[in-house]
Amino acid sequence: MIGLLLALVLASQSCGDVRRRVAAEARRQGVDADVALALAWRESRWTCGARSSAGAVGPLQVIPRHWCPGGREAGCDLVAAGIRALAYYRRTSPDWSEALCRYNAGTRGCAMGRGAGFAASVLEGRGARGVIAAR
């Protein structure tokens, strides 16, 4: 029981660091930090070791084969990779809604109508009290 409690405490501490890293990396790459923080919250609830059945990992749910050097998770800075992906989609999209849709569903998926609800939920979370407090 004590081991489980210690693990939860350590996870929450490192995730606090992840929130600061997400905001700092977003600013470094020229991405709106509020959007990046809201995305990380929506993707993983700032869970450092989050993994999806689709192969997405980390707080921003990055697909390593697309966004990590060599296409591998090993040695990949998952926060930097996620922000790099977000920056790419923002540069190649007309607005944040489209960028977040494509981040979630891919270009084809977004064109087919998937991901719009995801994008709206991220944008609704932007500027939320908890997100701003993490900056």
CATH code where residue 29 lies: 1.10.530.10
pLDDT at 101 over 60: yes
Q: Which of 24-33, 43-52, 63-72 has the lowest mean pLDDT?
A: 43-52
Residue 57 vs residue 46, higher pLDDT:
57
pLDDT score recorded for residue 17? 86
* Rounded CA separation 69/105 (Å): 22
- DSSP bridge partners of 51: 57
pLDDT score recorded for residue 128? 60
* Rounded CA separation 47/54 (Å): 16
Percent of the chain with pLDDT over 70: 81
Cα R_g (the chain), whole angstroms: 15
- DSSP bridge partners of 57: 51, 62
Q: How many CB atoms within 10 Å of residue 78? A: 23
pLDDT score recorded for residue 15? 55
Percent of the chain with pLDDT over 90: 74
Residue 3 vs residue 76, higher pLDDT:
76
Q: What's the rounded mean pLDDT across residues 97-107?
A: 96
Residue 73 vs residue 126, higher pLDDT:
73
Which domain does 58 fall in, by range?
2-133
Domain count, the chain: 1
